[in-house]
Amino acid sequence: MMQKRIFPIHEYLTFRGRVLGFEAALWEWAHDRPEGRFIHSSLGHELAPFCVTHFIEPCAALWSFYYRYHAWLIALGVQPVEIARYITRRKVGKKYVGPMHLLLRDFIIDCNSIVAAQVPIAVGAALAARDIGQRVVCVLGDGATLPGVFFESLNISMLQSAPIVFVVEDNRLAIDTPYETISHPSIQQKFHLFGIPTLSGNSENPEEVFEATRELTAISKGPSALCVRCDRIGAHAVAFEICSPLTMIDHPFFDRKEAEKTHGECRIVFSGRKG
């Protein structure tokens, strides 16, 4: 039996500050640009990436994301300014960037903008990852548990004992439609239908999520699922945000210093000046 670990609250607040600083600089650059309609802030979604990357080393897995993934990239050790360069399509090293951050790290196999499309790809990658003693972390939103391909993929993952951790960031909104109005079973019920071990937690109780993540990531064989209830801060896309995330700089659950530092660094990149 593994011992419980204490939730590292200070590290978490620092991480949230970093995400806030990045998202604030991004908002200033993108909210009135066409790109803003297709860029999605991670604010409010920081807990799952923080907890999962605490227990799974970035290089020990292959990672598959949906379109709300800035916090995941930062949690995996990608510098916010690097993401900013990517989004603004500036050079990273000697290379121009590719779409959807696929070239940022070798272990990122997907950043998918089509809801649930990343799920079967992640299952296939898990079959290959097993050959080399790795597994896949597949991140999806609650809306991705609705399309048929989600169920098809769960079926295959269980049949083939694919080593995969499904992480559902459950913000109860499919774009802006309340999840309860468009899905009959709960997310947990969907995983249970296929016999996939599932644990849940609420981001209002970080210790609970941290502990659930610890337990779940200890399962190394076959698929497992972690459902993290969270609240999206702001709109579906950056363009629809009414005010800058900077208004939250005095929020007690963000590290203010870290937010200001990251914001300043990223602003330089977004403004196109040399930093």
Which residues make up the interface to other proteins (CB under 8 A)? 62, 98-100, 102-103, 106, 109-110, 112, 114, 117, 119-129, 131, 136, 148-149, 152-153, 155-156, 159-160
Q: Which residue number, 152 or 211, has a Cβ lying nearer to other proteins? A: 152
* The two structure tokens encoding residue 47: 């807990």
**Smallest gap from residue 258 Cβ to other proteins (A):** 31
> How far is it, in rounded angstroms, from Cα 120 to Cα 257?
40
DSSP string covering 60-111, please? GEEEEE-S--HHHHHHTT--HHHHHHHHTT--BTTB---GGGTTS-TTEEEE
Q: Which residue number, 150 or 210, has a Cβ lying nearer to other proteins? A: 150
Q: Which residue number, 52 or 136, has a Cβ lying nearer to other proteins? A: 136
Q: Other C-beta atoms within 10 Å of 176: how many?
A: 9
Is residue 84 within 8 Å of residue 269, measured between CB atoms?
yes
**What is the widest separation between alpha-carbon atoms in the chain?**
53
Q: In Å, what is the CA distance from 65 to each residue of 39, 139, 177, 256?
A: 14, 5, 21, 27
* The two structure tokens encoding residue 145: 């548990």
> How far is it, in rounded angstroms, from Cα 166 to Cα 154?
10
> How far is it, in rounded angstroms, from Cα 199 to Cα 265?
37
Q: Which residue number, 64 or 213, has a Cβ lying nearer to other proteins? A: 64
**Smallest gap from residue 137 Cβ to other proteins (A):** 13
**Smallest gap from residue 104 Cβ to other proteins (A):** 10
**Smallest gap from residue 196 Cβ to other proteins (A):** 15
Q: Which residue number, 148 or 252, has a Cβ lying nearer to other proteins? A: 148
**Smallest gap from residue 213 Cβ to other proteins (A):** 23
**Smallest gap from residue 72 Cβ to other proteins (A):** 17
**Smallest gap from residue 240 Cβ to other proteins (A):** 24
Q: Which residue number, 98 or 264, has a Cβ lying nearer to other proteins? A: 98
Q: Which residue number, 196 or 228, has a Cβ lying nearer to other proteins? A: 196
**Smallest gap from residue 139 Cβ to other proteins (A):** 14
Q: Which residue number, 141 or 206, has a Cβ lying nearer to other proteins? A: 141
φ/ψ of residue 242, rounded to 5: -80, -40
Is residue 110 within 8 Å of residue 64, measured between CB atoms?
yes
The b/e string for 96-122 (b: 16+ C-beta within 10 A; e otherwise) is ebeebbeebbebbbbbbeebbbbbbbb
